């Protein structure tokens, strides 16, 4: 219908914002989170439906997604206060380890029991641990959720990035040993250690440097420039060095949260600029969702999509029981970990490169999972937090 229409960059961005606002308001009428409306707006504008926003434009606008994830990670880092961990101990870390571990194990075993190739099962299962924090954070911000489930959820989705990389590395190393693909196991294990450790170290250093100009620049405009500048530098450094951008910006945010008396004011300044960035990020994410992958998902895809959620829920509940966390955390945390997007897609590309014989099938399953998880995840997160009594009408 719109095949011959080509919008320039600024018109495309404007259309994305207005469509996001309109669909965000419409879904609000039926009690759904704004982020669901943003994703639907993108799906409507994207190549799968109207084609107003092209794949070429989405590729060139990836800087928006990177910036949004940087601000989200910086915001998550603000939750990592020493006082918080003194109060809750290692509970979020233990839960993150278990929910990642059981997601990988459940998916891998289920695929093997269904008769799938062992190597394929390990490679696809290795991606199951990854969770996308962005949609969950947006739901928490929109509804101003507060309470132990929300606190634990914020910490777990942040730590999940590290645990997912570790689980992926171990699974790929085992798959490589089984298949004799040729890559060195030591290199596969060392890579995520460098990626995670380097990101945390670089983020911590940037965080301490961040504190210096705050002593000399007191006006809101200047401080907002400092926040944006350091997040951009962090994103650029992570790309240059091959570090996890989420972990780097999160570590930077954690240092600022623990060593600056002005952290609350800084976060308020950051929140002033992020709404249009987050909206564009989710509309772009929706536009990248491909309806065409649904018919091609197959039995392996159905197993992955269902069993990953079961593994996340079981692992989160088991971890909460081990840590003797309260009942609501045991009951409602797991379902809120459904969303999966950027990190999973990145891991699927890496897995496809390592095992090209399974590349097409792995990418199809992960893209289909992303489509489903991103659309239902925010709704499930809102429902869980509401039932936990942490969203007030």
Q: Do 163 and 202 contact (CB within 8 A), yes or no?
A: no
What pLDDT, on the 0 to 100 scale, is given for residue 132? 78
**84 in a structural domain:** yes
**In-domain check, residue 393:** no
Give the closest residue to 252 by CA, choosing from 275, 276, 236.
236
Q: Which ranges in the chain belong to alpha helices (H)?
A: 9-29, 34-45, 55-60, 62-77, 82-88, 91-113, 118-125, 133-143, 148-179, 185-214, 220-241, 245-259, 263-288, 298-322, 327-332, 342-354, 359-387
Is the pLDDT higher at 289 or at 102?
102
Q: How far is CA 100 from CA 28, 178, 306, 314, 322, in A?
A: 32, 22, 15, 10, 15
Residue 5 has pLDDT above 50, yes or no: no
Task: Name which of 6-10, 65-69, 112-116 the model is least confident about.
Answer: 6-10
The stretch 348-368 carries a mean pLDDT of 79
* pLDDT of the residue at 186: 59
Q: What's the mean pLDDT in 117-121?
A: 86
Report if residue 290 sits inside a domain: yes
Residue 3 falls within a domain, yes or no?
Answer: no
In a domain, 2, yes or no: no
pLDDT band at 75 (very low <50, low <70, confident <90, very high): confident
Contact 359, 138 (CB under 8 A): no
pLDDT confidence of residue 171: 81
* Percent of the chain scoring above 70 in pLDDT: 94
Contact between 34 and 280 (Cβ < 8 Å): no
Secondary structure of residue 208 in the 3-state scheme? helix
The answer, as to whether pTM is greater than 0.85, is no
For residues 117 and 361, the answer to whether their CB atoms sit within 8 Å is: no
Contact assessment for residue 348 and residue 106, using Cβ atoms and an 8 Å cutoff: no
Residue 29 lies in a domain: yes
- The whole-number pLDDT of residue 298 equals 81
Least confident interval from 216-225, 251-260, 348-357, 370-379: 348-357
Range of the domain at 189: 9-387
Domains: count for the chain: 1
At residue 162, the pLDDT reads 77
Type and span of the H or E element at 181: none
Provide the b/e sequence for 177-193 (b: ≥16 CB within 10 Å). Answer: eebeeebeeeebeebbe
234 pLDDT more than 90: yes
For residue 287, the tally of other CB atoms under 10 A from its CB is: 30
pLDDT band at 187 (very low <50, low <70, confident <90, very high): low
The residue behind tokens 């959720």 is: 145
C-alpha distance from residue 18 to each of 142, 158, 192 (Å) = 18, 30, 40
**Average pLDDT, rounded, for the chain:** 84
- Within-domain flag for 209: yes
CA–CA gap between residue 274 and residue 140 (Å, rounded): 15
Residue 174: how many CB atoms within 10 A of its CB? 18
pLDDT at position 218 over 60: yes
Q: Which residue has the higher pLDDT, 183 or 162?
A: 162
- Mean pLDDT of the 3-32 span: 81
DSSP code per residue over 46-75:
STTTT-SS-HHHHHHTHHHHHHHHHHHHHH
Mean of pLDDT values over 119-131: 85
Query: Is the CB of residue 74 less than 8 Å from the CB of residue 263?
Result: no
pLDDT in tens, 6-16: 567 788 889 99
Q: Which one of 169-178, 235-244, 343-352 scores highest in mean pLDDT?
A: 235-244
Which pLDDT value is given to residue 4?
44
CATH classification of the domain holding 383: 1.20.1530.20
For residues 4 and 319, the model is more confident at 319
Rounded CA separation 123/307 (Å):
15
pLDDT bracket for residue 184 (50, 70, 90)? low
Residue 392 is assigned to a structural domain of this protein: no
| Residue 2 predicted with pLDDT over 50 | no
110 band by pLDDT with thresholds 50, 70 and 90: very high
- Which pLDDT tens digit goes with each residue over 84-95? 778 777 888 899
pLDDT of residue 185: 56
Confidence of residue 18 (pLDDT cuts 50, 70, 90): very high
Give the separation between CA 289 and CA 371, rounded to whole angstroms.
Answer: 6
């Amino acid at each position: 219908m719109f095949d011959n229409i080509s919008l320039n960059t600024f018109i495309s961005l404007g259309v994305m914002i207005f469509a996001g606002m309109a669909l965000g308001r419409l879904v609000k009428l039926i009690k759904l989170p704004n982020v669901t409306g943003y994703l639907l707006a993108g799906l409507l504008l994207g190549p799968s439906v109207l084609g107003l926003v092209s794949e070429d434009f989405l590729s060139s606008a990836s800087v928006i997604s990177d910036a949004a994830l940087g601000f989200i990670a910086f915001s998550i880092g603000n939750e990592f206060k020493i006082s918080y961990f003194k109060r809750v101990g290692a509970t979020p870390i233990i839960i993150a380890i278990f929910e990642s571990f059981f997601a990988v194990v459940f998916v891998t075993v289920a695929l093997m029991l269904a008769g799938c190739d062992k190597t394929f099962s390990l490679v696809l299962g290795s991606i199951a641990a990854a969770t996308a924090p962005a949609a969950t954070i947006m739901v928490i911000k929109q509804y101003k959720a507060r309470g132990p489930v929300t606190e634990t959820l914020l910490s777990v989705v942040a730590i999940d990035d590290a645990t997912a990389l570790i689980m992926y590395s171990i699974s790929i190393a085992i798959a490589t040993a089984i298949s004799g693909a040729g890559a060195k196991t030591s290199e596969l294990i060392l890579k995520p250690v460098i990626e995670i450790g380097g990101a945390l170290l670089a983020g911590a250093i940037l965080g301490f440097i961040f504190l210096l100009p705050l002593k000399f620049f007191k006006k809101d405009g200047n401080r907002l420039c400092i926040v944006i500048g350091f997040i951009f530098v962090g994103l650029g450094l992570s790309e240059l060095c091959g570090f996890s951008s989420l972990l780097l910006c999160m570590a930077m945010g954690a240092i600022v949260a623990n060593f600056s008396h002005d952290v609350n004011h800084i976060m308020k300044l950051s929140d002033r600029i992020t709404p249009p960035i987050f909206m564009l990020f989710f509309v772009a994410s929706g536009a990248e969702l491909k309806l065409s992958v649904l018919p091609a998902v197959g039995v392996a895809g159905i197993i992955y999509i269902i069993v990953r959620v079961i593994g996340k829920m079981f692992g989160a509940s088991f971890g909460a029981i081990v840590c003797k966390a309260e009942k609501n955390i045991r009951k409602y945390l797991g379902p809120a970990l459904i969303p999966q997007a950027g990190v999973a897609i990145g891991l699927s590309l890496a897995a496809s490169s390592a095992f090209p014989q399974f590349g097409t099938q792995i990418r199809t399953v992960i893209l289909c999972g992303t489509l489903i998880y991103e659309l239902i995840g925010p709704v499930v997160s809102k429902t869980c937090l509401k039932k936990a009594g942490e969203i007030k009408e």
